[in-house]
Amino acid sequence: MRRTKIVCTIGPASEDPAILRGMIQAGMDVARLNFSHGSREQHAAWVSTIRRLATELGHNVAVLGDLSGPKLRTGSLSKDTILLNAGDAFTLTTESIQGDWRGVSVNFPGLPAAVKPGEAILLNDGAIELVVESITGGSVRTRVRVGGLLGSHKGVNIPGRALAITAFTVKDREDAAFALAQEFDWLGLSFVKNAEDVRVVREWMSESGADIPLIAKIEKGEAVQTLDAVLAESNGVMVARGDLGVEVTLEEVPFLQKHIIVGGLSHSIPVIIATHMLESMTTQPRPTRAEVTDVATAVLDGADAIMLSEETASGRYPVEAVRMMARIAAHAERGIDHDRFMTLARRDRGVPGAVAYAACALADEVGASAILVPTWSGETPLRVAARRPVQPVIALTHDPRVRRRLALAWGTTALSVSEARTVDEVIATSIHAARTAGYVAPGELVVIACGQPKQQSGTTNLIQVVRVA
């Protein structure tokens, strides 16, 4: 059973129900809907189709909504792409224009005040580099230093500049309200700078009377500097290597990726590695050897999930990309050093964390076939999974929202059970569900880690070793 989960971005290449079905069958665990693209009508239709297909196929698939955030972007172009050559003059303007080879609009009114002559501006995740020559009114005149193809609505980065922009924009609030109404399972926060950016969204949701677990996307230099506080405030974290790679030097990115994975594990929250993982499969049926190594490295480093972006949103081979990623992950997992993850320093101290550690150690000691985790909130399975046990983690819950959310958790299979009222009933129901689903067999030992049923007070404080009847 593959342990590392696969996140797939949905777009024009994957909106056909037949393609979505193929992606689920190939291994998609989480469907990512990017609010920077597409309409709410499209997103609502995708959510409905994904959930219908997941039910038909008997797969647990979560839906992740990715808020646009305050990303600086170019405006529309008069054609699909334009070619910028080194040495060309090119203007960025805050005025609304139809862009062409001479210039393009940007969505940040403060751009002219944020840059100075001689400074660099990067477009399209750093693929194109401009140098500021002069500033007049709302226009920034530049010279192309590194050319390339530019499409509409591509990212604009100003390296080394901390811009005074709120992380939770008006559009984000509207999209978040839509996500709440559609019962999205996770919500990604773009361009988080600090823990306060996460708290603002959480407080807004609390006032709305609803709650979605929040994933902080690490793509700003400020977020790296305040990483531990951001992780403590978040329910998950994404290493967004595209924008991060233009905020810091390129050679830093691999080490930051490892650092963020360890940080997420220490807080027992899921970690997603994103951007350019199998990028060549956007146009080719096979990845490069370097891409395969990149995916395998993320798996070996302990990431909960690995993500496909353009590969499944706009690429020619969306199903094949998912299938390839699943193959790479399953093979790489043979080399995971489970003991190393058990000994990592933890921030989730206290009884729940201690019980999660003890459940993993006990399962290894007695040769258990699985760790069963009855759960009401989904927190205990995440704590157990963060220890990366050899045994599969089987989460049992009566709440369909919790079940879907756990589709993102490493090594975790979430099953639906009826709500139990006593500890004995919890244990019996859990074993029956795991046995019926084929994850455990009569005569095998299982470790059960849980707390008191919801009707009683208490936390995760019970461990039992049970032989399956």
Residues 314 and 348 in one domain: no
Residues 225 and 325 in one domain: yes
For residue 15, count CB atoms less than 10 angstroms from its CB and return exposed for 0-12, middle for 13-18, buried for 19 or more: middle
Q: How many domains does the chain have?
A: 3
Here the tokens at position 21 are 């079905």
SS3 378: coil
> How remote is the C-alpha of 365 from its chain's centroid?
33
pLDDT attached to residue 461 = 77
Residues 279 and 183 in one domain: yes
Considering the candidates 217, 241, 383, 387, report the single residue annotated as catalytic: 217
Residues 245 and 283 in one domain: yes
pLDDT attached to residue 208 = 85
- Residue ranges in 234-288 assigned as alpha helix (H): 241-247, 253-266
Residue 394 phi/psi, 5° resolution? -110, 110
In a domain, 411, yes or no: yes
SS3 178: helix
Question: Among residues 356, 140, 157, which one has the least CA distance to residue 246?
Answer: 157
Which residues, 6 or more positions from 329, have their beta carbon under 8 angstroms from its beta carbon?
2, 3, 4, 6, 295, 296, 299, 306
In a domain, 456, yes or no: yes
pLDDT attached to residue 9 = 98
In a domain, 252, yes or no: yes
SS3 209: coil
Considering the candidates 3, 5, 21, 32, report the single residue annotated as catalytic: 32
Residues 48 and 174 in one domain: yes
CB 373 within 8 A of CB 381: yes
Q: What is the pLDDT along the chain (469 residues), one digit of tens a residue?
A: 899 999 999 999 999 999 999 999 999 999 999 998 889 999 999 999 999 999 999 999 999 999 998 878 899 999 989 999 999 999 999 999 999 999 999 988 889 988 999 999 999 888 899 999 999 999 999 999 999 999 998 889 888 776 767 779 899 999 999 999 999 999 999 999 999 999 999 999 999 888 899 999 999 889 999 999 999 999 999 999 988 988 888 899 999 999 999 999 999 999 999 999 999 999 999 999 999 999 999 999 999 999 999 999 999 999 999 999 999 999 999 999 999 999 998 887 788 899 999 999 999 999 999 999 999 999 999 999 999 999 999 999 999 999 999 999 999 999 999 988 888 899 999 999 999 999 999 999 999 998 766 655 446 678 999 999 9
Question: Among residues 237, 271, 239, which one has the least CA distance to residue 254?
Answer: 239
CB 413 within 8 A of CB 384: no
5 is catalytic: no
Residues 463 and 383 in one domain: yes
Here the tokens at position 207 are 């006032």
Question: In this structure, is the dihedral angle defined by the CA atoms of residues 224, 228, 229 and 232, taken in order, positive or negative?
Answer: positive
Domain boundary among 157, 176, 192: 157
In a domain, 162, yes or no: no
Cα–Cα distance measured from residue 304 to residue 406, given in angstroms and rounded to the nearest whole number = 11
CB 75 within 8 A of CB 99: yes
> How remote is the C-alpha of 432 from its chain's centroid?
32
In a domain, 74, yes or no: no
Domain boundary among 138, 157, 176: 157
Residues 52 and 104 in one domain: no
Considering the candidates 2, 40, 51, 73, report the single residue annotated as catalytic: 73
Residues 49 and 152 in one domain: no
pLDDT attached to residue 158 = 86
pLDDT attached to residue 458 = 47
In a domain, 75, yes or no: no
In a domain, 220, yes or no: yes
User: Residue holding tokens 């009855």?
Assistant: 374
Here the tokens at position 188 are 């990604």
Question: Residue 46 belongs to a domain with what CATH number?
Answer: 3.20.20.60
32 is catalytic: yes
Residues 399 and 382 in one domain: yes
pLDDT per position as a tens digit, 1-46 = 899 999 999 999 999 999 999 999 999 999 999 998 889 999 999 9
Domain membership of residue 461 as a residue range = 340-467
Domain boundary among 304, 333, 362: 333
- Integer-rounded Cα Rg, in Å, for the chain is 23
Residues 184 and 144 in one domain: no
Residues 65 and 149 in one domain: no
Cα–Cα distance measured from residue 381 to residue 414, given in angstroms and rounded to the nearest whole number = 9
Find the farthest-apart pair of alpha carbons in the chain and give their distance in angstroms, rounded: 79
CA distances from 320 to 16, 285, 286 (A): 15, 7, 8
Cα–Cα distance measured from residue 242 to residue 64, given in angstroms and rounded to the nearest whole number = 19
Residues 173 and 306 in one domain: yes
Question: Among residues 158, 167, 106, 161, which one has the least CA distance to residue 132?
Answer: 158
Question: Residue 113 belongs to a domain with what CATH number?
Answer: 2.40.33.10
In a domain, 76, yes or no: no
Considering the candidates 275, 282, 375, 380, report the single residue annotated as catalytic: 275
SS3 62: strand
Which residues, 6 or more positions from 319, have their beta carbon under 8 angstroms from its beta carbon?
19, 22, 23, 26
